[in-house]
Structure 1
């Protein structure tokens, strides 16, 4: 069966455009999707097809990360084809029965099929399967990974959802605990919690996914500090960040994305536990743009500056679970839609956890360079450069009933 697929792909290969030199900046684009991409999210699927060359574009689907690669590959190809592509599934997946993933990754016919396509789409799953399949045991690139870089450098699009998004940066989360707090409380282990990604976005930007739905903005902070990143992009589910060759990012999809800027942040290394001061957190809504080079924001169509005169009065803004589903966005929106300057959120684990008395206080503060935009309906917000400080705190355990 595998030989038949490879033969069919080889017959489909057309003459490739001239390849860009390995040292040249990529002329292609990235579509980084935070997971949970729905079949009906036409804006994202159509964008991938358009960047791959438009109607009739050949797009290679890599279900490498998937637990069920046949199913996931077929679904992704069908979604792309419904929007005008000629997608084909590359049989490169550790979970594909009867396949030797290392031989497939170095198959010349498959590499040529990928190289001459207009784009590539990585499905979700386990990102360790992607890097494990595309890199040889000695760390060198397989033929298919070299083909991906050729496609990207000459102007093709590389898209990925969930695990396919995680591999976009040079460092990725590899096998971290499912919950966020243990990474803040106990630190990260290189080679276990984090490991090298594929680095398509460059060495200066850290990428994470499932951001708002799983409260993962907080786990980005220790990873960025450990590896020296000052800029992080966190994409929510059913949403994409499109990175153009100019390094301008645009957001499309159901919700939005978080930008973390640690350029002026400091940490007190004399303290035993994780802490951070003077970071900046921003929320980009659908239609917003952001320059990776200039770190400048452009609000999307229909956005207007928030009028301070109409702000809601609040005595205080305090969240007891800042890592809950969409909690950080809810807090940011209520903060900028109020007359408050600061808001506070806490993060603790349950009594059965390791060191349950230890947790963190997250303080969000409006600063002179903070910018806030909303639509006339005030249900779509863009929030730029809120100061973020994190400090370790303790809660008395066990808790007692109030008298």
Structure 2
């Protein structure tokens, strides 16, 4: 019995060593800190997210610099965020750099040496929501160079601190960010990306190779990332839903925590038909990461949460054709993907189009989602929650005949 136990422990040790050796090591000059990228709508009772921020900043008593820079009411937003962090054990403080903060000059404050030292010595920083253009406008000089406070933030991050941000504070995490895009998704698919208006440079904490977006599922935003990724050469996009966070560690492992989940768009093997003027993409991959799931930004390996089990064919339901006329609706894409993987169907289709009042109501798009050999599906019976990895996605322009009714 003892020999068998020792043998089992040895095997477990070998397995752990194999997993560890497979994990990509961080480059010597890469940041030692972490990012907590929140998709907006962070609720005061989301203890999991706040506790993780405080823990990564150093634990109880950690000093966390709160930047209400993006906020329309920065004094109120700053104090609310400080209070929320302090309830979870931090010693947070407001950094008075905000264009809308009365009696202050945001650009001048961002080069204040004493303020920069205070940020540099903190264990973490937190950017509130609002307008991300206010953050980049305040923390960068007109020539694009860093202010003293932005340099201090990079020092904090490289040293091992945490940088967190919600909504606008999430948008700034990638090198390219949404700046002033259309309120709706379809105009960007129809008209393409207007550089300098729709998108602009972010602060780039997550690196050069990943594009970040927020309010992702609740606002049906997954499709607006596609033309930006193609225009800017990104092959990897990470979109995080509200009240949910993607925690990015120094080895570039991403862990999803909070209320819902995140989508990963992978265009590494995707193609476009350049002979066709309208937006199109073929052979992309879309994945849904549920809370508790992990994903590595370097080797693109997925790991389901500990309560997930592979879906078996015997468990799948028989469904008729899986179809939606509003793929850009609230959580519509994830709902469709869940129906697809929990069925005996191989394909699901969704349409996106505008109403008859738009300029070009006849121009729409068809999204086709297909199970392929590298697709993986997991589920838990306790909460009916799914993890869905590497579904093939194809998008093509279609003509929508409107109106849909015949006049009497």
Give the TM-score range, shorter chain: over 0.9
Shift of 1:402: 8.4
Query: Where in structure 2 are the equivalents of 1:164-313 lying within 5 Å?
Result: 164-313=169-318
- Partner secondary structure for residue 358 of structure 2: coil
Equivalent in 324, 332, 337 of residue 327 of structure 1: 332
TM-score (norm 1): 0.93
What do the CA deviations read for 1:351-393 (whole angstroms, capped 9, x no partner)?
1212111010000000011000001235111000000000000
Shift of 1:398: 2.9
Q: Give 3-state SS (helix, strand or coil) of 2:377's partner.
A: strand
Paired with 1:236 and 1:345, the residues of 2 have a C-alpha distance of 20
Aligned match of 2:129 in 100, 124, 131?
124
Superposed CA deviations along residues 301-333 of structure 1, whole A, max 9, x for unmatched, are 110000111211112011000000000010000
- Residue among 136, 145, 152 paired with 1:140: 145
Aligned pairs for 1:93-108 within 5 A? 93-108=98-113
Cα deviation, 1:108-160, whole Å, max 9, x if unaligned, reads 11101100000000000000000000001111100000000000000000000
Report the RMSD for the aligned CA atoms in angstroms. 1.2
What does the per-residue CA deviation read over 1:54-86, in whole Å, with 9 as the maximum and x for residues that have no partner? Answer: 000000000000000011111111000000000
- Residue in 2 that maps onto 1:84: 89
Number of residue pairs the alignment of both structures matches: 382
Q: In 2, distance between residues paired with 1:402 and 1:29?
A: 59
CA distance in 2, matches of 1:72, 1:66: 7
Aligned to 1:364: 369
Q: Is the 8 A contact 1:360 1:391 kept in 2?
A: yes
Show the counterpart of 1:32. Answer: 37
Q: What secondary structure sits across from 1:233 in the alignment?
A: strand
TM-score (norm 2): 0.92
Quote the Cα distance in structure 1 between the aligned partners of 2:345 and 2:240: 27
| 1:319–1:402 CA distance, 2 compared to 1 (3 A) | farther
Unmatched tracts of structure 2, length 5 or more: 1-27
Quote the Cα distance in structure 2 between the aligned partners of 1:224 and 1:308: 35
Contact residue 304 and residue 376 of structure 1 kept, 8 A: no
After TM superposition, which residue ranges in structure 1, 4 or more long, deviate above 3 angstroms? none
Determine the structure 1 residue equivalent to 2:58: 53
- Offset, 1:206: 0.4
Q: 1:18: which partner in 2?
A: none
2:120 pairs with 1:115: yes
How many Å apart are 1:165 and its aligned residue? 0.2
2:218 is paired with a residue of what secondary structure? helix
SS of residue matched to 2:396? strand
Structure 2 Cα separation of the partners of residues 161 and 378 of structure 1: 26
Q: Distance in 2 between matches of 1:378 and 1:364?
A: 24
SS of the residue 1:315 aligns to: coil
Matched with 1:11 is none
SS in 2 for 1:352: coil
